[in-house]
Amino acid sequence: MPWEEATIHISSVGHASVSAAFEGVHSYWSETRGALYGFRFRDHMQRLLDSLRLGRLEPEFDADALVAAAAELLASWDSRGKDLYVRPWGFARGTHKEQMVPRGTPAEIAIETWEFESKLGRGRTCTLAVSSWPRFNPGASPASMKVFSNYHNGRLGNIDAQARGADWPVFLNGAGNVTESSGSCIALVKGGRLITPDLASGVLDSITRNTLFRLAEDELGLSVETRPVERTELYLADEIFLMGTAAEVLPAVEVDGFPIGDGKTAGAITQALESCYHDTVRAVTDKYDAWLTPVPAA
């Protein structure tokens, strides 16, 4: 519906939002094919439904219906030559005077979109700082749930990292091991191996991480280690990068003042992965077409 016609009752904001879940999805213009493609739409919609179910809300749509709705929304845009971000989110239906949304409340689903230009292949880099705020305990609030309430910890980490002159935080868990950043996962390269914290460390089951590791193995013949990662491994890494739907592949050149690689540019493996990711999301190759949802032209 047109933006100006959309209304939500004021009492839907507040305690009713505690259980609200969301997704960040990217769709990319393919110059090669002259069309817009949604990237891994179904996996994102399934994760949204999983987040809602874990929060005991009852979505009334299945993943295929949500994929079709997102494609219909995108088809209504003049998307020629543009990349669009898609933000599906789900929240408890009705207005809630009680503090806690009860189990079994139906979930409303809304899907928004806006222009979001990809930065792949632009030579972007970032700097990192280990957050003085530890990551929330995944035993208390599961990291696998992409709920808005999990993001306040991320916000505190962002502010903390920026106050110390870095772009993004890296959170440690209660054991002092590396988890993720505020809106992206992290991987390091050491001796030609790709290493990333395992899910039990307390990280979101990132769709970009899953994509990149498949590309690393299939396209670059690299081996991937998923395991607890110590903070000191970051300082001694050959390469480090963040990864996520919005971050895409974002090379880090410094952590807590330790230079990574030459301290200025992305390492060779990170660059190769970024290039494979570009060719996949922009449909240069047809090898991963199963991950792409074609969007009909407006």
| Residues making contact with ligand PMP (CB under 6 A) | 24, 180, 183-185, 204, 206-209, 244-245
Q: Which helix (H) or strand (E) holds 87?
A: strand 84-92
What's the closest the beta carbon of residue 124 comes to ligand PMP, in angstroms? 17
Which residue carries 């001694």 as its tokens? 236
CB 53 within 8 A of CB 62: no
What's the closest the beta carbon of residue 283 comes to ligand PMP, in angstroms? 19
**Residue closer to ligand PMP (CB basis): 152 or 264:** 152
**Residue closer to ligand PMP (CB basis): 105 or 245:** 245
Least Cα distance to 114 among 88, 146, 87, 89 occurs for 87
Which residue carries 């609030």 as its tokens? 141
The sign of the dihedral angle between the CA atoms of 266, 267, 268, 274 is negative
What's the closest the beta carbon of residue 18 comes to ligand PMP, in angstroms? 17
What's the closest the beta carbon of residue 51 comes to ligand PMP, in angstroms? 11
How far apart (Å, rounded) are the C-alpha atoms in residues 173 and 135? Answer: 5
Least Cα distance to 142 among 245, 59, 53 occurs for 53
**Residue closer to ligand PMP (CB basis): 154 or 267:** 154
What's the closest the beta carbon of residue 2 comes to ligand PMP, in angstroms? 27
Size of the chain in residues: 298
**Residue closer to ligand PMP (CB basis): 170 or 260:** 170
**Residue closer to ligand PMP (CB basis): 83 or 180:** 180
Least Cα distance to 128 among 68, 178, 60 occurs for 178
Q: Exposed/middle/buried for 98, CB within 10 Å: 0-12, 13-18, 19+?
A: exposed
**Residue closer to ligand PMP (CB basis): 105 or 184:** 184
What's the closest the beta carbon of residue 142 comes to ligand PMP, in angstroms? 12
